[in-house]
Amino acid sequence: MKKSKVTTVLIVVLSLIMLGSVFMIGYELLSRQNDKNEFDKLAELVEETASVSANEEIEKENNYEKDISMLFKQNADFVGWLTIPDSEVNYPVMHTPKNPEKYLRKNFNGKYSMSGVPFVDYRCKLDSGNIIIYGHNMNNNTMFAHLVNYLNNDYKNSHQTILFQTKEELREYSVIEVRKTDIYDTIYNNLYSEMQDVLILSTCYGKKEERLMVIAKRIK
């Protein structure tokens, strides 16, 4: 009798644990999808606005330039838009020097988000010439997950261009190096002495302290 009760209790406990795990997995998947949907809305907004401007015969620097003016009004932390043509990387970029990791787990509107928003290193200045942008390597292939593709030479050669549009201009960069490294890489602390006019996209890769960098040189 006692053995039967213990077995029943064990089954109930295991069932609750299983249900809890299923709930958490479902919640995580839903959260990630919601994050993706929010970014898609922002991307559509800047694309649609740019199309309207084009119809009004406002000249654009090239086909990749977007009208991001409304995003500066929506959030003062917004500093630009990052795009890798023909890829999923098409995101707003934030910069909060006094609160470096503010958007690590917040969305564009400041609400909790597992995906966060790509953000500029707090030590960088947009007019300094060298910029590091951080982003999560998400399991659902959003944010900076696609940077892993740069480890493939064919992908690297066909995705050389990275665009970063600020309030003042559209900057064009060409990929010069893909580096598997870690958080102790000297480039994080000596960016201005090691290189000039570069944009570095940094994301998690492998173990906890490992990182992947895509380094691009400004050409325009």
Q: Considering Cα of 89, then 93, then 98, then 99, what sign does the dihedral take?
A: negative
CATH fold of the domain at 40-218: Sortase; Chain: A; (2.40.260)
pLDDT above 60 (res 23) = no
pLDDT above 80 (res 144) = yes
Q: What is the reported pLDDT for 54? A: 47
Q: Please compute the mean of the pLDDT values over residues 115-126 and round it to a whole number.
A: 92
Give the list of residues 6+ apart from residue 7 with CB closer than 8 angstroms, or none: none
Higher pLDDT, 130 or 57: 130
Largest CA distance in the chain: 84
Question: Whose CA is closest to 205, among 152, 119, 142, 147?
Answer: 147
Rg (CA), the chain: 21
Q: What is the reported pLDDT for 41? A: 78
Whole-number Å distance between alpha carbons of 92 and 83: 9
pLDDT above 80 (res 218) = yes
Higher pLDDT, 19 or 197: 197
Higher pLDDT, 2 or 43: 43
Domain ranges across the chain:
40-218
pLDDT above 70 (res 137) = yes
- Residue identified by tokens 């960088």 is 124
State both tokens at 30. Answer: 């839903």
Whole-number Å distance between alpha carbons of 49 and 171: 20
